[in-house]
Chains A and B, each alone.
Chain A
Amino acid sequence: MAEASRLLARPDSKASLAAGGTELLPRMKYGLATPQKLISLKGVAAAAPALATDGSVGLDALMTLNAVAASSLVRENTPLLAAAAISVGSNEIRNMATLGGNLCQDSRCLYYNQSHDFQFTAPCFKRGGNRCYFIPEGKKCWAVFMADTAPALICLEAKVHFTGPNGLLTIPLEQLYSNDPLRPVTLAPGEIISRVMIPARPMHRAEAFAKFSWRRGFEFSAVSVAAVLDLEADRQTCRSARIAIGSIAAAPLQAQKAGTVLAGERPNDKVITAAAEQAAMEIRPVPHHGYSRAYLSECIRVQVRRVLHAAMKPFSKHNGRNQHG
């Protein structure tokens, strides 16, 4: 890893890094990335997931998404992340794509992630030009960040370790994202995510994830929603809640006010509906891939409501199965 980092950091390197390659190779085929050298991490084995003594979970960034979803440690400690990982792409993609690669995905646009040869006369903002084909009167790029594991890990307050020219650094995952469609991931040349650290799971936690898209395995999400509710000892009152939404801006965004609506309350139907409405109100989604802003706002409202209900289901008084769990 240190060697890869050194090679990438050279000012004249013109090299790209590939872990699974499922992001970089299509980009190269469309001419969106034109590296002269490619550094493959295929030969580097991913370390097994590790549970630290303080209860935190460490995941190697080179784990494939299927390996993340299948790991018993992940399923027990952070079922939310397992659900997010299994929702990405198709089975074949998940056997190749890595967790670190998913977090470092570039932002996407219907008019950017395709061949430009015959359809467009001049490059768009994201290709270094000065126009937007998606919003022709637009003065900036509107590409959207669509990785599904990012909202889940943000709700789990994960941190990422990365190796780079300045040694090993750790930042909260949220700070990895700039919300700039042209450069959504804030890593500098030569910086490589090596590990994802998830803090210990509290005793009473409700969590759920949902991805919404029309054509499951063939499509990136229209909206993905992750929610974590930390509960009081009574397993009914919400102490604090985090809701993160993906695919609606150049970064995964948190619906903070919606989280406040839940804090201190018992998340019953009425509270959940109010939180979902708040989330749809405070997040102004960027229209993308043919979905209008109004449609995506409604998607947010519906998906947040569903996710909160799904998260609270194991704690429901009517659900005898988990009463003693």
Chain B
Amino acid sequence: MDEYAGKMLIQLNINGELVSLAAEPQETLLDVLRDRLGLTGTKEGCGMGECGTCTVLIDDKPQLACLLLAVECQRQAIITIEGLSKGRQLTSVQEAFLDEGAVQCGFCTPGMVLATTALLTENGQPSEEDIQKALEGHLCRCTGYNKIVSAVQLASKKINLSEKHK
């Protein structure tokens, strides 16, 4: 039988690249990213919109890939964790997470890093409360929250510093 039966041809803009594929209408963006495109940086935690590990940036706003259908995400700019660094050059947010030791098992890290990236784009100098509010939907089962908050503060300093030097 036709392997495309019941599938929809869609075009996604992922990390600046246009990708065409045939997806089933019930496939989530998370399924497509991980299973079809091999972008396994985006994690599946609860699959129910509670834990934040599957966060991706859609038009610069953090959203949950487990609750988005791939067919709904056409014509939008999708950024996954793989799309942040330029080759081996990490972003300030990624460096700050490493410097502060904010990564333990690493499962929540992609979501945390993307949410932080979005936060710092909107608000260059977030207060501790702003950081907690922005990350409130992200579970870290290693419970390293303090280090993560310090990493966000460090990242905001790094970004402000590098902008001064420009």
Interface positions of A (Cβ within 8 A of B)? 21-22, 25-26, 29, 38, 40, 42-43, 66, 89-93, 95-96, 216-218
Contact = CB atoms under 8 A, between A and B. Distances in A.
> Which secondary structure dominates chain A's binding surface?
helix
Given A90-B136, A92-B62, A96-B64, A26 B69 contact: no
Interface stretch (B48-56, B84-92, B151-159): B48-56
Contact of A29 (B48, B62, B72, B139): B48
- Pick the 10 closest A-B CB pairs, nearest first: A90-B137, A217-B136, A42-B72, A217-B137, A95-B61, A25-B67, A26-B48, A92-B64, A92-B62, A95-B63
A216 B139 CA distance: 12
Given A26-B48, A29-B48, A92-B55, A21 B136 contact: no
A92 B137 contact: yes
Interface of B: 25, 28, 47-50, 52, 55, 58, 61-64, 66-69, 71-72, 115, 133-139
A29 B47 contact: yes
Contacts of B47: 29
21 contacts: A21-B68, A22-B49, A22-B67, A25-B67, A25-B69, A26-B48, A40-B69, A89-B49, A90-B138, A91-B133, A91-B134, A91-B135, A91-B136, A92-B52, A92-B64, A95-B61, A95-B62, A95-B63, A96-B63, A96-B64, A218-B137
A256 B136 CA distance: 34
Given A22-B49, A29-B47, A38-B25, A91 B137 contact: yes
A38 B49 CA distance: 19
> Which secondary structure dominates chain B's binding surface?
mixed
B68 A89 contact: no
Contacts of A40: 69, 71-72
B79 to A, nearest CB: 14
Contacts of A26: 48-49, 67
A91 B115 contact: yes
Contact of A93 (B28, B58, B137): B137
Nearest to B71: A40
Contacts of B134: 91
Nearest to A70: B122
A92 B63 contact: yes
B63 to A, nearest CB: 5
A21 B69 contact: yes
A91 B116 CA distance: 11
A42 B61 CA distance: 15
Contacts of B115: 91-92
A26 B50 CA distance: 10
A25 B68 CA distance: 8
Contacts of A95: 58, 61-63
B109 to A, nearest CB: 15
A36 to B, nearest CB: 11
Nearest to B62: A92
Nearest to A216: B136
A231 B130 CA distance: 33
Contacts of B63: 92, 95-96
